[in-house]
A and B are shown apart, each in its own frame.
Chain A
Amino acid sequence: MIGRHLIEPRDCSVEELEGIFQLAEKIIEAPETYAEACKGKLLATLFYEPSTRTRFSFEAAMLRLGGSIIGFDDPNASSAAKGETLSDTIRTICAYADAIVMRHPREGSAKLAAESSDKPLINAGDGGHQHPTQTLTDLLTIRQEKGRLENLTIGVCGDLKFGRTIHSLIRAMDRYAGIRFVFISPDELQLPSYVKDEITYASYEETKNLEAVMGELDILYMSRVQRERFVSEEEYLRLKDIYVLDAEKMKKAKPDAMILHPLPRVNEISVEVDQDPRAKYFEQAHYGMIVRMALLMKVLGVKEND
């Protein structure tokens, strides 16, 4: 994958994903082996929209590989504020850095930027469009915690209409065998038909009742209802706490179920669930850094010592 861009999750084949996950597993087992894997490499993190969590995850990944970072996370301080085009900024950064991570509020910006980049460019979120490393994070978490990516019943709950993380997860998991989705949402936030139409291999059902399906799920992926997606404040307030996962509901879950959430959460998972060993969303953040380490190593083409 040397020199490759990552704009959307499907830029990687299932085999390439497996390669990333196997490397991630080796990093988990012996992180010290990789402490200098990216020594002498420079990563540019261009955040045209602040996202502390994502930026830290990438920067921590690069630093843990012994690499260095430059970047900005305040668009007003960047050359974009002076009217420079995205492609000029990217060309300039390519003269300094070995790889680029970019987050930008406009949809499709990552693809446009990649067209001007002769260094690997990783999309760290382009508006409501794609956020592939979140999907890699979700997949690695499932793979490590469940030991497989096949034959799973995956409940997806919350804002299925606007949640790009959820759409990506569904498309990504649809490529594995024996997947059954249970889509849990109110009518107003149902999964759009264009996402359903793309489901090729998996089976799915839709419901409004989280409690009723709790006992069937191997994985429950909770998501936040985002205020910025709503035109009416009233509707947002009515829907935002429609599903709250609490200890009571967890009693109905399988003993080996797994709760995921892309974080940050608001109220949709009550803090009492955090103590439950089946809650894996904080581990998920750790896997997020690990999978970014593996990805950076792959696109930079550094040696993977065994």
Chain B
Amino acid sequence: MINVSKLKKGLVIDHIAAGSGYRIFRQLKLDELNDVVILMRNVPSRKMGKKDVIKIENHINLDLEVLGLIDPHATINVIENGNRAKKIALVLPKRVEGILKCKNPRCITQYEKVEAPVFYLANEEEKTYRCSYCDSPTQFEGGE
């Protein structure tokens, strides 16, 4: 296994479902950071078999909403002085702004420009959100 030097100060996004790491990397625009960022894929995991891990050498502000949407089972560890200082568990956000797009062809948001449409969580298991304008359900399918 490739060894990566231990983080002194920064964030570790752990327990990402194998294969979702790159999507999170792109969605969080980590390529735009000037800090050291490491994306590890297919890391062996006792619990998950395989997992993806992202390490960021700084305390940046993460968009927890996007993260929660893509992989609600991921965890975030805040590292201080080489030790875990805090663990943040993710949840599917109840309200999402500006990430989803309504798929209802009759919805007003298809015709009028809405900067950051708001969606409300409708079904946790199915990851369905309801458009705040037309109430149609939309499933989150990742940030393609």
Q: Which residues does A use to contact B, with CB under 8 Å?
A: 85-87, 104-109, 111-112, 126-129, 194
* Main SS class of interface, B: loop
* Complex Cα–Cα for A19 and B128 (A): 36
* Complex Cα–Cα for A85 and B108 (A): 11
* Complex Cα–Cα for A104 and B102 (A): 18
* B112 contacts A129, C-beta separation under 8 Å: no
Given A111-B132, A112-B133, A106:B113 Cβ within 8 A: no
* A112 contacts B112, C-beta separation under 8 Å: yes
Is residue B29 within 8 Å, beta carbon to beta carbon, of the partner chain? no
- In the complex, how many angstroms separate the beta carbon of A193 from the nearest chain B beta carbon? 12
- In the complex, how many angstroms separate the beta carbon of B105 from the nearest chain A beta carbon? 10
Nearest chain-B residue to A104 (Cβ)? B108
* Complex Cα–Cα for A111 and B107 (A): 11
* A129 contacts B113, C-beta separation under 8 Å: no
Q: Which residues does B use to contact A, with CB under 8 Å?
A: 102, 104, 106-114, 131-137
Nearest chain-B residue to A108 (Cβ)? B133
- In the complex, how many angstroms separate the beta carbon of A171 from the nearest chain B beta carbon? 12
* B135 contacts A129, C-beta separation under 8 Å: yes
- Contact residues in A for B134 (Cβ distance below 8 Å): 107-108, 127, 129
* B112 contacts A107, C-beta separation under 8 Å: no
* Complex Cα–Cα for A128 and B136 (A): 11
- In the complex, how many angstroms separate the beta carbon of A306 from the nearest chain B beta carbon? 39
- Contact residues in A for B102 (Cβ distance below 8 Å): 108
| New A-B contacts (15) at CB < 8 Å, excluding given A87-B112, A109-B133 | A104-B108, A106-B106, A106-B107, A106-B112, A107-B104, A107-B108, A107-B133, A107-B136, A108-B102, A108-B109, A108-B131, A108-B135, A111-B132, A111-B133, A112-B108
- In the complex, how many angstroms separate the beta carbon of B121 from the nearest chain A beta carbon? 14
- Contact residues in B for A112 (Cβ distance below 8 Å): 108-109, 112, 114, 133
- Contact residues in B for A128 (Cβ distance below 8 Å): 106
* Complex Cα–Cα for A128 and B105 (A): 12
- Most chain B C-beta atoms within 10 Å of own C-beta, residue among A85, A108, A126, A128: A108
* B112 contacts A127, C-beta separation under 8 Å: no
* Complex Cα–Cα for A286 and B104 (A): 35
* Complex Cα–Cα for A194 and B137 (A): 10
Nearest chain-A residue to B131 (Cβ)? A108
* A127 contacts B133, C-beta separation under 8 Å: no
- Contact residues in A for B133 (Cβ distance below 8 Å): 107-109, 111-112
* A108 contacts B113, C-beta separation under 8 Å: no
- In the complex, how many angstroms separate the beta carbon of A93 from the nearest chain B beta carbon? 16
Given A127-B106, A128-B106, A106:B111 Cβ within 8 A: yes
List the 9 shortest-distance A-B pairs measured between CB atoms, nearest first: A108-B133, A107-B134, A108-B134, A106-B108, A109-B108, A108-B108, A107-B106, A111-B133, A112-B108
* Complex Cα–Cα for A108 and B134 (A): 4
* Complex Cα–Cα for A85 and B109 (A): 12
Query: What are 27 A-B contacts defined by CB distance under 8 Å?
Result: A85-B113, A86-B112, A87-B112, A105-B106, A106-B106, A106-B108, A106-B110, A106-B112, A107-B104, A107-B106, A107-B107, A107-B134, A108-B107, A108-B109, A108-B131, A108-B132, A108-B133, A108-B135, A109-B112, A111-B132, A112-B108, A112-B112, A112-B133, A127-B134, A128-B106, A129-B134, A129-B135
- Contact residues in B for A194 (Cβ distance below 8 Å): 137
* Complex Cα–Cα for A85 and B114 (A): 11
- Contact residues in B for A111 (Cβ distance below 8 Å): 132-133
Nearest chain-B residue to A115 (Cβ)? B114
* Complex Cα–Cα for A128 and B106 (A): 9
* Complex Cα–Cα for A43 and B137 (A): 34
Nearest chain-B residue to A194 (Cβ)? B137
